[in-house]
Structure 1
């Protein structure tokens, strides 16, 4: 019904590191050349856990956008914006909250997980309970078809789908809907109208998903339908409701295979991260002082690559030949740990070089970043306003 669109966001809680690049940004760079993408700084989301100390948010926001640009996210191909600059997100969040059962939010797995992990923070707030609903508003407001997420975030997409479905069920009741939908089928031409109705029956009576997809593809190709007729016919396919919000699909992304310097998950708060734009001396020092296989006390002791965090970096950064050289040299004590680390240092610096170069113009002239974001906010807001016009009308607030 609506064009395919990707939406994704990140919370501005500190400098981005190489784990972010391998886990998300690399994927964003690939996606932007395949589909229309909207990437946003989730500054309101940062407040769900940092509401008592928001001082980090402003600096982190601009630094993070520079990190995105450095990683290769292209403002000519993607829309980059800041969540709080599009107030319609908050309006949709409020309106969705009127009809979202409390139990749905309490069941989201990360709700209890995060409370346990961040036990030092007071998270007994509505904002924290309601953040999956704000997340849903962030995506549903752009009628996004795809959301790139790791496996742990799939329950969040599921709740978005349930919220969209419930909204369409409650508010997609249009007076004389069936008559209007049947009148719209006539605009397809008699042959395609007959096929559309046959496919609808196949789906509704037999649950034939293939028939549903075929009918949707036919509607996508129909040139002479207005947006409202197309919307009615999509809704009529699946039931007797107008589809106002799109149910997004989870686009599963590979988890970052890059661990922290100590072998645990890379995180700034664990002190085991390499920043996306870290200087050469610092990167070299960090990798040189990385822990290795604890059994390898002396240079002459053979080691086991599987017990060494450096080996996990080789898995991400090294060619098959270098990996073979490192594994063989480690097991036979033919090479020392510092020798083994050198190709990793070289590969990280080589990866970061173009990032540093891309970031420089924005560091020299911060107004360039402000302009990109202002432009992105304007584009995002136009799309958000279109959705909110339909939402208000459906909820009886269009007067």
Structure 2
């Protein structure tokens, strides 16, 4: 549908299309307002995840893929230096924090909903804080400026997943698509086998990596020098704040939306690297990370919502690239839909394996032996 558009036209569309993230944020108060006076208030509480995981995959398929890459050299350099894109991502931080706070007030005071409506509200808030909040945090923690680093840490603290700031950059990006990386799903591993290990590994490996960093600097692990203590401490303060404001139900809300958010993150991790692996070289090391080691999804709509996160192949090959200049590679393994659709598919392991296992085998055609026991789930 978009193939006839010129690269310059697409770049202009995307320049303003990245504002679409605000629709997800605004969908939550919209659903709350619609629930008032409705005969089905509980259903309106589920509005955001219904749109994200029901409507967006259909629109992805309808609109199709993004045909444009920025030209290397002058165009990439110019786009990378434009502060417009940087401030656009930073703008989401206060809006998302405000949404979390307001959402807690609604959760604690709204009497329209039964337990089902409250569950829907947690899923709605968590879908936004996970889908938009952690995506923005991911973009920011990969950048060097302190403002972006701290903004990314703040978003992660707001969903109780500060370990991602350390483990993702210093762990996942080093070991991606190898058996050493718990955030890279093995061939034939179900989502429900993957998630418990991913939760635990994110926390434990973050502490291990931070302790190693401090040891190299001859600094104590349990001190203000440990950034994880600061970020997890901030999460605890947020939980206390919700408790003071709304009682135990405020704490339950804060922890509940956090769980939804970081679970959505780990499901996306599952999707991004399922079954792919870096070959082990004769010297015992793994081959360098290339665009071949992440599933790519070039569907335009979800890429606009997610700041080009779906051009994940280029991100892993060039982690410092800013989202506006990430490229699509035709020879990278390609997902059949955007992340929203793939998340739904991953929740049903037989369907996921029926769709994705043939793609993994086709990608490694002629070297199926690479899908060895150490690459597969036990």
TM class, shorter-length: under 0.3
Normalising by structure 1, report the TM-score: 0.22
Task: Name whichever structure is richer in strand by fraction.
Answer: 1
